[in-house]
Amino acid sequence: MAKAALLALALFAAAPAYAADPPATISIQDQGSDELPPGAPADDYGFVAWCYGALDESIGVYQTVLPDLKDIDAKFGSPVKEATPYGEDVSDERKALKRFAAAMEAAERASPRPIAPEGVRAINLGRSIWDPAKAQPRRQLAHAWLMWGLPNRCESTAKTLKTRATLLGQALAIGAPKVDAPEHADAHPEGRPAAPPAPSPAATPPSEAPSIDTLLDSSAGASTDKAKGKSN
C-alpha cells in the first residue's frame, strides 16, 4: 500500500468526522522533494544522519498509530490489500535505514577526525521533527504519519556519501606505510633467533642401559630389605 499525501488528503476529506480535526503540524512538503528540509544539516554526513533519525522515528510512530491505520483501512478500503496496513512500506523503510547507517559508518571510518558525535546530534535533530505531532492525540498523529514522506535526496545523498567515503578509505589504505614482518616469527626481541628449549631431565635417555646382572642384584637386595622389615 503506497503511502501518498494526496491519497491521505482525499481519504480524510471524505470523512466528516475528521474534517474538523486537522493533522498535527509537521513538514509534509518534504515528501518526494529534492530540497533541503528546513533545519536539516547541509553537509552530506549530517544530512544522512538527519534522514536516519527522521525515518527511524517515523517507524516508531507507525507502531504507535497502527491501530488507527487499521481502523482507517477498514472504513475506507484500499486498492492494495495487506495483512498489516503499510507493512511493505515500512519494510522498505527499514532497508533504507540500513543503507543510511552503512553510509554513515563508511564516512566515519574515512574521516581523519571523530565525527560520530556530530552524527548523533543530527540523528536527534531528525527525530525531533516528530515532537509536535507526537504531542497531539493519536488519531492526529496517524494523519501526520500518512502525510509525511522522506525527502528524495536522502537516498541520493546517502549513496554519494558512501561512494566517496569508500574511495577515500581505499586511498588512505594505499598510501599507508607498509610494515615488514620479521623473517623469523620466533625471533628474539633483540633480533637474535630464540634458543631452542632445553630438553626436560625426565626425557633425557641414559647414556648406557644397565646390565641384566645389575637389575637382578638390585631386585634381590630390595627383597632382602623387605624381609628384614617384616622380621623386625
Q: Are 41 and 122 in contact (CB under 8 A)?
A: yes
Neighbour-count burial for 174-184, b at 16+ CB within 10 Å, e otherwise? eeeeeeeeeee
57-67 pLDDT tens trace: 999 999 999 99
Lowest mean pLDDT across 26-35, 38-47, 49-58, 97-106: 26-35
- Collapse the DSSP code of 204 into the 3-class scheme (helix H, G, I; strand E, B; otherwise coil) and give the result: coil
Q: What is the pLDDT of residue 15?
A: 41
Q: What is the DSSP letter of 81?
A: -
pLDDT averaged over every residue in the chain: 74
178-227 pLDDT tens trace: 545 455 444 444 444 444 455 555 544 444 444 434 444 444 444 444 44
CA 207 to chain centre: 66
pTM: 0.66
For residues 137 and 140, what is the distance between their CA atoms, to the nearest angstrom?
Answer: 6
Q: What is the pLDDT of residue 3?
A: 63
Cα separations in angstroms, 161 against 109, 130, 168, 204, 209: 12, 25, 11, 67, 79
84-96 pLDDT tens trace: 899 999 999 999 9
State mean pLDDT over 97-102.
98
